[in-house]
Amino acid sequence: MTDLPHYPLYIAGEFTAGAKAQVMDSINPATGDVWATFDCAAAADIDRTVAAAQAALDAPEWRDMTATARGKLLYRLADLIAENADELGRIETTDSGKLAAETTAQTGYVADYYRYYAGLADKVEGAVLPIDKPDMHVFTQRLPIGVVAAVVPWNAQMFLAATKLAPALAAGCCVILKASEIAPAPMIAFARLLDKVGFPKGVVSVVTGDAENCAIPLTRHPGVDRIAFTGGPDTARHVVRNSAENFAVTTLELGGKSPILVFDDADLDAAANGLIAGNFGASGQSCVAGTRGLVHRPIFDQLVAAITEKAQGLVVGDPHDPATHLGPLCTRAQVEVIEKTLATAKAQGAQIALGGARASAGAHYMQPTLVLCNSPEVETLKVEMFGPVMSLLPFDTEEEAIALANDSDFGLGSGVFTQNVARAHRVSRRIRSGITWVNTYRAISPIAPFGGFNQSGYGREAGAEAILDYTRTKTTWINTSEAPMSNPFVMR
């Protein structure tokens, strides 16, 4: 046990143990064995971390640093991420079970998020207002919102950290990054890079731990000004309640049951690939997984055949092996939820056309599974399973397809496959989701906003406007008249 890698907390520029000396094990999903240990934060650690962030906000090293200089630090961080993408990807794959091919590529691309906001750092502008009063010079400034609690889950840590950390630091905030207690090692390894960049102590800290000792004290802390949360709806409700204690500005990026609509004029090969990407990519462990495939009835059987043929060649196995397409699920609980949901779906009359059982590679592995649904009420169309389960349901008309797509409590991603440009515009506009991909799926960019409707949360990450979410507008009035201020009892 002593030979295992150990990951400490990173607080105020120092790597440290938690105040309660609480240590947890991290499980390698591919083997089911403990592969590393990590320290957990306690409430006293959160107090210390927030105090350090507040002090950094007021210290001249960060407070008076020019926006251009902040941008240069982010460029330096981006370079370090790109240089260490292979190592960060290896750690994330070992810790979470995600494919090394994906974690390494995604980490390398994440560097562009930091470069994007590095470039935006000195582009945040105020305005001189054409005020309706004489002898007044009035202008606005965008100032850092303050201390940010950035809460990220385990399933896309480098990406989801970047969408919060990059704009917050570019805006001049201080950030406490709270990693999931499930597979937090990549975030602590990332902290080693943050430590090399040259940020003043306290500007960025990285902590992890359970809800009682870490997440709750952080999200309700009176010194936190903004919460950027990605996770599940149930946890988000607790976060919102906690934010009532500090009135922190809160944005939520939550789960989804994203629809993918395939019309009878679609390129079937592209549509099959899109559905596979949206369901079996990342072993289905994606918040935008397109788990509700809605297929025009005339091509339903053809599409099922195309997906089945392609799925026959998918390799389930070691996530470090470049030949593997689907690795293990991060937790056994996910496997159990899938098995329970599939059992209910079969009882409802759904047909398991492919897979439907655990894979032979290990306890955390599921076969890629295809469910043919006879009703929109089938359980697999309702439950976010976070695994490689694709559900297909036929539709007859465009109006029916749109209605089925919108028949969900969620509204994060969606897809439309059609060669009809007018239909693509018409349908994508009417789907109630924050993102619609047309004739593709699961594409991301730092330039494009990301977020959802309904129970998929509120607020947007990425895109130029996201940096403004980490600022407050300050208005300054300057009386330019030589005359003294007049009657103090009359509002000017």
Helices (DSSP H) in 43-184: which residue ranges? 43-58, 60-63, 67-83, 85-96, 100-120, 157-170
Say whether 399 is catalytic. no
Distance CA 17, CA 27 (A): 20
The catalytic residue among 253, 379, 384, 461 is 253
The confidence score (pLDDT) of residue 1 equals 46
Q: Which two tokens stand for residue 415?
A: 């897809």
Q: Are strands 369-372 and 389-395 parallel, antiparallel or unpaired?
A: parallel
pLDDT mean over 177-188: 97
- Among 353, 331, 330, smallest CA distance to 342 is for 353
pTM (2 d.p.) = 0.95
Whether pLDDT at 49 is above 90: yes
Distance CA 353, CA 369 (A): 8
Task: Please give the mean pLDDT across all residues of the chain.
Answer: 96
Say whether 214 is catalytic. no
Helices (DSSP H) in 251-387: which residue ranges? 268-279, 300-311, 332-347
pLDDT mean over 97-122: 97
The confidence score (pLDDT) of residue 2 equals 59
Q: Give me the phi and psi of 118, to 5 degrees please.
A: -60, -40
Helices (DSSP H) in 127-267: which residue ranges? 157-170, 185-197, 216-219, 233-246
pLDDT in tens, 285-309: 999 999 999 999 999 999 999 999 9
> What are the distances in angstroms from CA 135 to CA 138, 475, 478, 479?
10, 16, 8, 6
pLDDT mean over 138-147: 98
Round the CA-based radius of gyration of the chain to a whole number and report it: 24
Cα 311 to chain centroid, rounded: 27
pLDDT mean over 92-115: 96
Q: What percent of the chain is modeled with pLDDT above 90?
A: 97
pLDDT band at 3 (very low <50, low <70, confident <90, very high): confident
AA letter at 459:
G
pLDDT in tens, 310-345: 999 999 999 999 999 999 999 999 999 999 999 999
> What are the distances in angstroms from CA 151 to CA 27, 43, 104, 228, 490?
21, 16, 22, 6, 47
The catalytic residue among 174, 287, 330, 373 is 287
